[in-house]
Amino acid sequence: MAIVFQKPKALKDTPMHYCPGCTHGIAHRLVAEALDELDIEGKTIGIASVGCSYNSYDYFGCDMIQAPHGRAPAVATGVKRSKPDNVVFTYQGDGDLAAIGTAEIVHAAARGEKITVIFINNTIYGMTSGQMAPTTLLNQYSTTTPYGRIADQHGFPINVCEMLATLEGPAYIERVSLHDVKHIKKAKQAVKKAFKVQIANKGFSLVELLSTCPTNWGLSPVESLKRVEDDMIPHYPLGVFKGKDLEV
C-alpha cells in the first residue's frame, strides 16, 4: 500500500494552536499542498498578518515575514518588487484584510501586484475574542454587536471578492468554502490556480476561503461548518469573480 494522504512537506511538524475544528488548519494545508505540488516552497516568501494566523510562520516551512495588522499586501509588494522571481503570498483574516488593511488590499489589487492573497473570511475577529469584523453578517452576534449587527449602527458586511473584481488590476479572484469535503477539494484547486497565476506572471490573485470560528461563534465545529453553508454562502456566493477563462 502507498500513502495517498499525509501532511504536506511545506507544513512544518509544529502542532497548530488553532482551536479544535477551526478551518485555519485546513486552509494552511491547502496552501502547503500547493507549494508542494508546484514545487515552489524553496522560492516562496509568505507574509503572515495579525490575527489568529499571526504566527503562520511557525507552520509554513517557506521563508516568512510577519507584517503589521492590515499591511501584508504592502509588505508583499515590497518583497515582490525587490525579488520578482520569487513567489510571494499573504495569509490574512477578514479583520486584517477588510478592515484596517482595506487600503493596502485595494491598491495592491489595483496595481495588479503579482502576489497571491489567501483571505480567510470567518465573519469575526478570532484572536481578540469575537469582535465584529467587516464581514460580520447582519443580525450576527459578536462581542461588539452584543444585540446583533444592526445596519443602522454597524453598517453592512463587505463582499471583498465582488469589490476587488471591479478593479482592472486583479487577474484571478475566486471565493471558495471549507465547509465540506467536496468544497475543500474545490478550494484546493482555487488556491493552486492562484499560485499558478502568479508563477505565470499573469498578475494579482486572491482566493477568499469561507471559514469557521467555533469558539467565537459559540458553536461546535460541526455546527460551525453548517453555519458556513446555511448563513454565509447566501451572502458570500461562491465562484470565480475575475479570470474565469484564464488559462494557467
Partner 1 sequence: MAKVTFISEKCKGCELCVNVCPKHIIAMNKQNLNEKGYHPAYVTDMDKCIGCAFCATICPDCVIIVEK
Partner 2 sequence: MGQKLLMKGNEAIAEAAIRAGCLHYFGYPITPQTEISHYMAKKLPKVGGVFLQAESEVAAINMVYGSGSTGTRVMTSSSSPGISLKQEGLSYIAGSQIPAVVVNIVRSGPGLGGIQPAQSDYFQSCKGGGHGDYRQIVLAPSSVQELYELTVEAFNLADRYRMVAMIMGDGNLGQMMEVVEFRNEEPIEHYDKQWATVGHENSREQNVVTSIHLNPAVLEKMNLDLQEKYRVIKEKECRYEIYNQDADIFIVAYGIVARIAKSVIEMAKDKGINVGLLRPITLWPFPDQAFDQVIDKAKAFLTVEMSSGQMLEDVKLALNGRKPVYFHGRMGGMVPARDDIMKEIRNIYNLHVKND
Residues making contact with partner 2 (CB under 8 A)? 41-45, 47-48, 54-55, 57, 61-68, 71, 74-83, 86-87, 103-104, 106-107
Question: What does 4 bind: partner 2, partner 1, none (CB cut-off 5 to 8 Å by kind)?
Answer: partner 1
Give the residue carrying C-alpha cell 467565537: 216
Q: Which residues of the chain form contacts with partner 1 (CB under 8 A)?
A: 1-7, 11, 15-16, 18-26, 29, 180-181, 184-185, 214, 220-222, 225
Question: What does 147 bind: partner 2, partner 1, none (CB cut-off 5 to 8 Å by kind)?
Answer: none
Judged by beta carbon, residue 63 or residue 223, the one nearer partner 1 is: 223
Give CA separation, 224 vs 152, 179, 185, in Å.
27, 8, 19
Shortest Cβ 70–partner 2 spacing (Å): 9
Judged by beta carbon, residue 168 or residue 180, the one nearer partner 1 is: 180
Residues 6+ apart with CB under 8 A from 178: 23, 26, 27, 184, 187, 209, 210, 211, 212, 225, 228
Pairing relationship of beta strands 170-177 and 239-242 according to DSSP bridges = antiparallel
Judged by beta carbon, residue 87 or residue 160, the one nearer partner 2 is: 87
Question: What does 24 bind: partner 1, partner 2, none (CB cut-off 5 to 8 Å by kind)?
Answer: partner 1
Instruction: Choose among 57, 68, 65: nearest CA to 115.
Output: 65
Question: What does 1 bind: partner 2, partner 1, none (CB cut-off 5 to 8 Å by kind)?
Answer: partner 1
Shortest Cβ 97–partner 1 spacing (Å): 21
Judged by beta carbon, residue 44 or residue 216, the one nearer partner 2 is: 44
Compute the distance between CA of residue 88 and CA of residue 76 in angstroms, rounded to an integer.
6
205: left (phi over 0), alpha (psi -120 to 50) or beta: beta
